[in-house]
Amino acid sequence: MITRKNIIALYPKIDQSLLPGVLKKNEFDFIKENIDLYGQDSTIDEYINTFVAKLNETLSKKSKPVSKPKTVSKPKPVTKSKTISKPKVKSKPKTVSKPKPVRKPKAVSKPKRKTVKKVSTTKKRTKVEESPDWLLVIRKFIRMANRENSQTVLRSLLKEIQTKFKANKKRTATPYISLIRRMQDTIIEQVNKNLGKKSFVLKVPKMFVSLLKQASAKVIVSKRKTSKLTKKNLSGIKKKSHKVGNLSGLGIVPTTKLVQMSFKTLPFTGQWQKLIGFPSVPFHLMFYGTGGSGKSTLTIQLAHYLAEQHNMKVLFVAKEEGISQTAQDKFKRLNAYHKNIFISDGASASLNKQLKDFDVAVLDSINELNLSPDDIRGLIEKNPNLSTIQIFKATKDGKFLGQNDFMHMVQAQFKCENGFCYPEKNRFGGNEVVEISFK
């Protein structure tokens, strides 16, 4: 008999042809990886116990083909006649008269009271006011499992998994991190197998799906009561800090898988290829320069190129010029207006709500918007699929105006001066100086 203690040693000796899909080697590999967590996580415990029980049940059925004919030979008429020879009709009215009035009230009273115990199981669930990131991701994966999904949707979920999970201040791991890591590996493996297809069925074992459902069922999300803001309670509201926590290690991928992975890059052409190269999505670019250097003109042209050639939805946050005649004249002069480009004056208190439905945000300028490095980190963290084009002012000497932390959060940095744009730091391959066209 196979048990939790000997499964690692005995499973490799089992003939795989005898096993159904839910007991195949890929399921065993998951158990082998997480066997050390047995006793620490009830969900992992239940998964391993279920696997061992089903494995023993399957093997016992396969090893008993000889015992079946013995059961066939059992229809002995003698035993049947014995049961038939019990026609004690006199005893039947006795059993009818005595137990029926006694059993009915007991059967009615006890089970109804037992159903009350079901309420106690909900007490064991954790109640939260907002759905945690791990719960949202697990539920998304469950909805997508064994259904047809597009490459874009699956890559988006993979990006969300690899960017969202961070340790908290106490450096404790995300709940069910082993399950989430397996979700990540499943998406990576199947995306790479179906690179030529726009959509395909995400195949996930039913046992793993049921395990995810058990994990997600342990949390109840209660609705928040909304209250009207008054002058009294406004004073008690604290500003949220957007500091990024330490990574929990979920994004670790072996180099053998890294070589097989594919990433979405934009096939830039012309001056944009020379200046920027081939940026991967999402990208974060920085342009800075003095007034009249052409930084806003160049970024408007870049926004039009992204909207027209790459069908990206762009929000131009024009804090400096706002929604004005000056902005209107500039978009007309550059012939840069497009149905996929939207403009905002940046006056809204919540910038994150504005950026929710966009692919690219042009922030003109960071200085006028009064954004700190922590604000930019929080913005990127809450919008993991959003690309940003960040515009900064420069001092009279032409130096970048702002904290050095801003430069560490972008993949490419460009300086605009006297009608030219110079690449200073670039991870996307572009390294040529480009002349800015003001027409």
pLDDT tens per residue, range 422-439: 999 899 988 899 999 887
173 pLDDT band, cuts 50/70/90, is low
C-alpha 125 chain-centroid distance: 22
pLDDT of 166 reads 53
- 161 to each of 77, 108, 134, 251, 357, how far by Cα in Å? 65, 50, 9, 8, 19
Structure tokens at 160: 């969300």
Amino acid letter, 309: Q
Torsion region of 311: left, alpha or beta (phi above 0 gives left; psi -120 to 50 gives alpha) = left
pLDDT band at 108 (very low <50, low <70, confident <90, very high): very low
Half-sphere exposure of 220 (CA within 13 A, CB side): 9
pLDDT at residue 295 is higher than 80 = yes
Whether the predicted pLDDT of 116 surpasses 50? no
User: CB burial class (10 A; 0-12, 13-18, 19+) of residue 417?
Assistant: middle
Question: Between vectors from CA 150 to CA 146 and to CA 152, what angle results, nearest 5°?
Answer: 130
- Taking a C-beta distance cutoff of 8 angstroms, is the pair 200, 148 a contact? yes
* More confident call, 118 vs 416: 416
Quick one: average pLDDT of 410-433? 92
| Candidate from 135-139, 306-310, 420-424 with smallest mean pLDDT | 135-139
Residue 82 has pLDDT above 90, yes or no: no
Ranges 118-122, 253-257, 393-397, most confident: 393-397
pLDDT at 418 over 60: yes
What pLDDT band is residue 243 in, cutting at 50, 70 and 90? Answer: very low
Higher pLDDT, 67 or 156: 156
345 three-class SS: coil
pLDDT at 304: 95
Neighbours of 212 (CB within 10 A): 22
pLDDT at 387: 93
Which pLDDT belongs to residue 220? Answer: 65
Runs of H (alpha helix) within 276-324: 295-309
d(CA 304, CA 271): 14
Q: With residue 134 as reference, give the H or E element that holds it.
A: helix 133-144
CA–CA distances in Å: residue 397 to residues 393, 407, 414: 11, 18, 16
Q: pLDDT confidence of 176, banded at 50, 70, 90?
A: confident
User: Is the separation of the CB atoms in 128 and 221 below 8 Å?
Assistant: yes
Measured distance CA(62)–CA(66) in Å, rounded: 10
Taken in order 103, 104, 105, 109, is the CA torsion positive or negative? Answer: positive
pLDDT grade, residue 167 (50/70/90)? very low
Helix (H, G, I), strand (E, B) or coil at 402: coil
Residues in the chain: 439
Q: Which amino acid is at 198?
A: K
Question: Is residue 352 within 8 Å of residue 380, measured between CB atoms?
Answer: no
Higher model confidence: residue 279 or residue 352? Answer: 279
Q: HSE of 293 in the Cβ direction (CA atoms, 13 Å)? A: 24
Which pair of tokens denotes residue 214?
A: 């058990």
Instruction: Between 143 and 221, name the one with better pLDDT.
Output: 143
Lowest mean pLDDT among 95-109, 150-164, 199-213, 294-308: 95-109
- Give the tokens for residue 213: 């459902």
**pLDDT for 102:** 52
Where on the phi/psi map is residue 401: left (φ > 0), alpha (ψ -120 to 50), or beta? beta
Percent of the chain with pLDDT over 70: 72
The dihedral over CA atoms of 308, 311, 315, 318, expressed in degrees to the nearest 10, equals: -20
Indicate the SS3 state at residue 286.
Answer: strand
Cα gap 306→419, rounded to integer Å = 21
pLDDT of 363-398, one tens digit each? 988 888 888 888 888 888 888 889 999 999 998 888
How many Å apart are CA 273 and CA 271, to the nearest integer?
5
Structure tokens at 252: 């670790």
pLDDT band, very low/low/confident/very high, at 98 (cuts 50, 70, 90): low
Q: Whole-angstrom Cα distance, residue 5 to residue 49?
A: 11
Q: What is the pTM of this model?
A: 0.47
Alpha-carbon distances of 384 from 22, 164, 341, rounded to whole Å: 34, 8, 20
CB burial of 245-282 (b: ≥16 within 10 Å; e: otherwise) equals eeebebeeeeeeeeeeeeeeebebeebbbbbbbebebb
**Position 96 pLDDT exceeds 60:** no
Give the residue with greater pLDDT, 7 vs 236. Answer: 7
More confident residue, 117 or 404: 404
* Structural element, H or E, at residue 205: none
Q: Which of 40-49, 164-173, 239-248 has the highest mean pLDDT?
A: 40-49
Give the pLDDT score at 422. 95
**pLDDT grade for 51, boundaries at 50, 70 and 90:** confident
Which amino acid type is present at position 85?
S
Instruction: Take residue 289 and report the two structure tokens written for it.
Output: 């320069």
Exposure string of 365-389, with b = 16+ CB inside 10 Å and e = fewer, is bbbbbebebeebbbbbbebeebbbb
Q: Evaluate if residue 31 carries a pLDDT over 90.
A: no
The percent of residues above 90 in pLDDT, for the chain, comes to 23
**Phi-psi region at 79: left, alpha or beta (left = phi > 0; alpha = psi -120 to 50):** alpha
What mean pLDDT value characterizes the chain?
Answer: 76
Q: What pLDDT does residue 155 have?
A: 85
| 280 cis-preceded (ω within 30 degrees of 0) | no
Q: Answer whether residue 284 shows pLDDT above 90.
A: yes
Q: Determine the pLDDT at residue 101.
A: 53
Q: What is the mean pLDDT of residues 328-357?
A: 82
